[in-house]
A = this chain, B = another copy of it.
């Protein structure tokens, strides 16, 4: 399985008139088992790119080759839960095949046990985001798309969930696209980092991380981060750290 993204441009026409160029030509590919990370300033076009890749927006120039039968699990930037369905129903509706055991495990990991029967309106934002994570995990996706999945969570929980994502990615051949503002998350989870320019977004640097995820210790991570920081000073990051 392979995801090929070849966007040559994307422009929005705003309601007030006027056009906004959001994506410059962007081209990359991702293999099964790989974690690609998109990092870029707020409003540069990351979410737009994800929507195009997932086929939610057809109004763009370019071409996307997505494995046709792939199951998709997505964490949107906002939770996008159904307010009229309980937490459990929300997950089950997206993942009808999920077993009771799997669901219980997910809820335990995400610390949602007490909220199974709550409606989304009765959740805090952090809880709602976790439900969105549970939903994406429950479908056992072939493509996992995460748009800032760990925002609004406290550090301890965010750390635990990051490890869970790593576990999931390691356990099955899943292709992952992660959008994040946290370099730490990017370095800990990513196989290839795509640094994006401000709007219109293009890839200013593609940084593969050679060390396998499970062997990255705190020292390696610190080293990668340092090297990244150094490169970013020189404004244009070129090739391959690690």
Binding site for B on A (CB under 8 A): 12, 14-16, 18, 20, 39-43, 46-48, 77-78, 86, 111, 114, 117-119, 122-127, 130, 148, 151-158, 181-183
Contacts and interface: CB of A to CB of B under 8 A. Distances in A.
A157 B39 CA distance: 13
A154 B41 contact: yes
Contact of A181 (B15, B155, B183): B155
Please tell me how many copies of the chain the complex holds: 2
A153 B78 contact: no
Nearest to A129: B42
Contact of A154 (B42, B122, B124, B155): B42
A68 to B, nearest CB: 29
A153 B183 contact: no
Given A152-B151, A154-B40, A16 B86 contact: yes
B42 A153 contact: yes
11 contacts: A14-B117, A14-B122, A16-B119, A42-B126, A42-B154, A42-B157, A77-B124, A151-B151, A152-B181, A153-B181, A155-B183
B42 A118 contact: no
Nearest to A119: B15
Given A18-B117, A155-B183, 10 more contacts: A16-B86, A16-B117, A39-B154, A42-B154, A43-B111, A46-B124, A77-B124, A77-B152, A78-B125, A153-B181
A47 B125 CA distance: 9
A157 B198 CA distance: 12
Please give me the 3 A-B residue pairs with the lowest Cβ-Cβ distance, nearest first: A42-B126, A16-B117, A43-B124
Contacts of A20: 114
A43 B127 CA distance: 6
A111 B86 CA distance: 38
